Structure 1
Amino acid sequence: MPSDQPDWVLRRRQVIGARIRTARERAALSQLQLGVLVGADHKTIHRIEHGTSDPRLGLLVQIASAVDVPLAELVQ
């Protein structure tokens, strides 16, 4: 599916998603468990981790808290 966002934005989303996935795995959480903790569907977590979703800030803050990582570390 084509995107109206520049390539660098899409690549950045993939990097952030990979950091979220790494932090989730370090926290020993499945995508389903993380979804329950943050009030999101596990499919949403999957899309965020693969960079195909553009999550809202509030959800990113909740994810950072759930995996016990500062938000800045996920998005730096």
Structure 2
Amino acid sequence: MPTDPLPDWVPARRRIIGDHIRAARVAAHLTQEEVAGRCGLDRKTVNRIEQAAHSPLLDHLLLIADAIGVPLADLVRE
């Protein structure tokens, strides 16, 4: 079970990942709706991940990376 509350670096890192997802999506000229459709997720979930309001499952990150056409490492790098 994760520490409660989470260390400050965890939400900060989640924000960075969300920023990377958004940047990759925009660079691929895709909307949140298009990415969501390609992943089988809803747009709100993609938005929450990009906004760091939701802690994504690894499966979701893999699906999003595939939908955008980038390696997962590009989305989670520092």
- Alignment match, 1:67: 68
* Matched-pair identity in %: 46
- Alignment match, 2:17: 16
- Aligned partners of 2:34 and 2:6: how far apart in 1? 30
Unaligned residue ranges in structure 1 (runs of 5+):
none
Q: 1:12 deviation in Å?
A: 0.2
Amino acid of the structure 2 residue aligned with 1:41? D
Give the TM-score taking structure 2 as reference length.
0.89
- Aligned partners of 2:6 and 2:44: how far apart in 1? 22
- 1:23-76 C-alpha deviation (Å, 9 max, x unpaired): 011111111111110011101111100111111111101111111111011111
Unaligned residue ranges in structure 2 (runs of 5+):
none
Within a 5 Å distance, the mapping from 1:26-37 to structure 2 comes to 26-37=27-38
Give the TM-score taking structure 1 as reference length.
0.91
Q: 1:4 deviation in Å?
A: 2.5
- Aligned partners of 1:53 and 1:6: how far apart in 2? 16
Q: Please report the RMSD computed on the Cα atoms of aligned residues, expressed in angstroms.
A: 1.1
Amino acid of the structure 2 residue aligned with 1:54? S
Amino acid of the structure 2 residue aligned with 1:9? V
Structure 1 stretches (4+) deviating beyond 2 angstroms? none
